[in-house]
Chains A and B, each alone.
Chain A
């Protein structure tokens, strides 16, 4: 699975960066940047929980 981010929805709370700094960063404008979108098998639950913390529903998992 892959993480996709919608910068149009992001409001820069930074929950994703706090949860997984190796996967997410924030741009100069303060909007989400996915550093590494690949979610290894078995890690899906952990990432669903991280995505669930995003207050603006800007992140999703796609096959």
Chain B
């Protein structure tokens, strides 16, 4: 029986298209069986409507990462079971933590950060220009933008960026082993615990300082709980957005008519970013497990079954997005599930949008001759089971 069951996840052949092998899931309809790395069989939810249904129903489809039924999509998820924060909790526990952070992530707050993001993007491009070609836009541009932004927001010293970027990368990379990701989690936790301890003595003005004053000092959160929340914000805040910026540059370069349209009319930036988010699906899939028997697209889900909501295929469902494989910056569809849906929908989405708009808009404006310095087929693609994207992006101009 298991022989014919396709694997999830699979590596991408092109960094912005879903793996060719995912087409096999669709033959069995929007909900089908797949096999994980550890042999466990779970449901792959590949249709857009079905993905939304699952994500809108946390009572039936749980995010509880410590629960043994929560499926590990890659070995690194096994070590994540020890980290307790709201991305891995269900309401009402989830809601309490998320609400502590909401005021820092509103549309207005993201708007207010724009001048700062613009200044740091300009600085990075000044440096790249001064140095001259060839530049690798991953370490020199795509990574520092979100990394600096999240540091300043949280009150984490950017001077420590090499350390936490390397450890975060071990946490979110699909090929990281269980031991390696456990070690990375431990190092990041120890670092953040030390930082929070120092901040308790000598407060600064970041979000972590606010949370210490309002939640830890008042006994609502323990120091350990704050460490786990800080870990989530720091890791989720930079690797995803860095991948989205680098892969966004590549996607635009590989669709010259769309890039030309964007260059001709900068007011298209917001819809272009939305279409990039849909098209690239940086988070390829997200896990849940069923807490009760349920029916989904004619399939009988049993309590305890594992689920993977496949974002990269839901975003290419032609019932929701006509001509889904076409990259069209004027599509204007915001109903993609790249930030998830339901109560866990990305808290940093408006920050990510602002960073992508400013980084991509400014880069193509200031370096009009920007082009790849290596054949696109030779760019190293990130491994399956983690944040998707490319490891290097050498360019000239």
Contact = CB atoms under 8 A, between A and B. Distances in A.
A50 to B, nearest CB: 9
A52 B335 contact: yes
Interface of B: 55-56, 95, 98-99, 101-108, 334-335, 339-343, 345-347, 349-350
Given A13-B345, A56-B343, 19 more contacts: A11-B98, A11-B99, A12-B99, A12-B105, A13-B346, A14-B105, A14-B350, A25-B108, A26-B108, A29-B102, A29-B103, A30-B101, A30-B104, A30-B105, A53-B335, A55-B55, A55-B342, A55-B345, A57-B56
28 contacts: A11-B102, A11-B343, A11-B345, A12-B105, A12-B106, A12-B347, A13-B345, A14-B106, A14-B107, A15-B334, A17-B106, A19-B334, A21-B107, A26-B106, A26-B107, A29-B103, A30-B101, A30-B102, A30-B103, A52-B335, A53-B334, A53-B335, A55-B55, A55-B56, A55-B341, A55-B345, A56-B342, A57-B56
Cβ-closest 4 pairs across A and B: A30-B102, A55-B345, A12-B102, A14-B107
Contacts of A30: 99, 101-106
B345 A28 contact: no
Contacts of B102: 11-12, 29-31
Interface of A: 11-15, 17-19, 21, 25-26, 28-31, 52-53, 55-57
A8 B106 CA distance: 17
- Tell me which of A15, A28, A55 has the highest count of chain B C-beta atoms within 10 A of its own C-beta: A55
B95 A11 contact: yes
A57 B335 CA distance: 14
Nearest to A18: B107
B107 A17 contact: yes
Contacts, number: 61
A13 B347 CA distance: 6
**In this complex, which of B56, B345, B349 has the most chain A Cβ atoms within 10 angstroms of its Cβ?**
B345
Contact of A55 (B101, B104, B107, B343): B343
B32 to A, nearest CB: 25
Nearest to A31: B102
Nearest to B56: A57
B56 to A, nearest CB: 7
A28 B335 CA distance: 26
A52 B52 CA distance: 11
B75 to A, nearest CB: 30
Contacts of B345: 11, 13, 55-56
A53 B336 CA distance: 9
A16 to B, nearest CB: 9
Nearest to B334: A53
Contacts of A55: 55-56, 340-343, 345
B149 to A, nearest CB: 17
A29 B334 contact: no
Contacts of B339: 13
B85 to A, nearest CB: 15
B40 to A, nearest CB: 28
B183 to A, nearest CB: 33
A7 B99 CA distance: 11
A30 B340 CA distance: 19
A57 B56 CA distance: 8
Query: Which of B107, B343, B346 has the most chain A CB within a 10 Å cutoff?
Result: B107
B119 to A, nearest CB: 24
Contacts of B343: 11, 55-56
A29 B106 CA distance: 9
Nearest to A28: B103
Contact of A18 (B95, B346, B350): B350
